[in-house]
Amino acid sequence: MNRIAHLCLCLCLLLPGWSARSLGAPAPAVATPANEGAATHEKLPRFASLRFDDVNLRVGPGTNYPIDWVYHRRNLPVEIVFELGDWRQIRDQDNVTGWVRGPALWKRRSAMVRMSEVTLRVAPNDQADPVALLKPGVITHVRSCPAGSAWCEVEIDAFRGWLKRAAVYGVYADETIEGQ
């Protein structure tokens, strides 16, 4: 086999979805449910958070695509809406979408206050004593969100308490989160 043919064969074996026979026509994709990520087989969409202080948001799934935005906020909650290999298409709190590498995200759940100031409370009800007053943009670690509850238990620094789900970006209205 000559060197060029060998190189083409090697490239075809390394590129998912391509075959040596077709050399240009993608192989049929393996079907995955619409609500499941092809790479991780985890539920889509789902929330995650940024693992690093600086994360590049690209216009496409690869380093050959230009950087559209750089996030400078570790633990920022983002919604994963699609997966392609090692890349995740995400949506942020401002509905901006783009692509980041999977390792730039982690499963540790966070939530960001999106409304005007909200009160962190000692128990999951409006009459419970206040713990702290949180301003818009504050990021909290989500500890739990009980099934059927309008509240989530969160912590930020030394403060721990309960916030209404509707007051934050990073949790779904019907989602159960247990002991994080």
Structure tokens at 126: 């409006």
Q: What is the pLDDT of residue 40?
A: 85
Q: Verify that 116 and 165 share a domain, yes or no.
A: yes
Domain contains 151 = yes
Domain assignment present for residue 162? The answer is yes
Is 175 a domain residue?
no
User: What pTM was estimated for this model as a whole?
Assistant: 0.79
Report pLDDT for 36: 80
DSSP 139: E
Asked if 37 contacts 83 with a C-beta cutoff of 8 angstroms, the reply is yes
The answer to whether residue 136 sits within a structural domain is yes
In a domain, 77, yes or no: yes
Q: What's the pLDDT score for residue 180?
A: 73
Using the 3D structure, point to which of 60, 81, 105 is the last residue of a domain.
105
Count of domains for the chain: 3
Distance CA 123, CA 72 (A): 32
CB 18 within 8 A of CB 27: yes
**Statement to judge: residues 99 and 144 lie in one domain:** no
Q: Confirm whether 38 is domain-assigned.
A: no
Domain extent, residue 123, equals 111-169
Residue 127: CB partners within 8 Å, gap ≥ 6? none
Distance CA 9, CA 53 (A): 40
Query: Which CATH number characterizes residue 164's domain?
Result: 2.30.30.40
Mark whether 117 and 93 lie in a shared domain.
no
Q: pLDDT by residue for the chain (180 residues), tens digit each? A: 443 333 333 333 333 333 332 334 333 344 455 688 888 889 999 999 999 999 999 999 999 999 999 999 999 999 999 999 999 999 999 999 999 999 999 999 999 999 789 999 999 999 999 999 999 999 999 999 999 999 999 999 999 999 999 999 999 999 999 987
Residues 117 and 83 in one domain: no
- Residue 118 belongs to a domain: yes
Query: Among residues 90, 104, 117, 115, which one has the least CA distance to residue 51?
Result: 104
Give the residues across from 57 on adjacent strands.
69
pLDDT value at residue 33: 58
2 with 23, same domain?
yes
> Which pLDDT belongs to residue 72?
98
98 found inside a domain: yes
Shared domain check, 74 and 24: no
Q: What is the DSSP string of 38-96?
A: TTT--BSSEEEEE-SS-EEEESSSSTTSPEEEEE--TT-EEEEEEEETTEEEEE-TT--
Question: Given this model, what pLDDT does residue 37 score?
Answer: 86
pLDDT of residue 3: 39
Q: 96 with 68, same domain?
A: yes
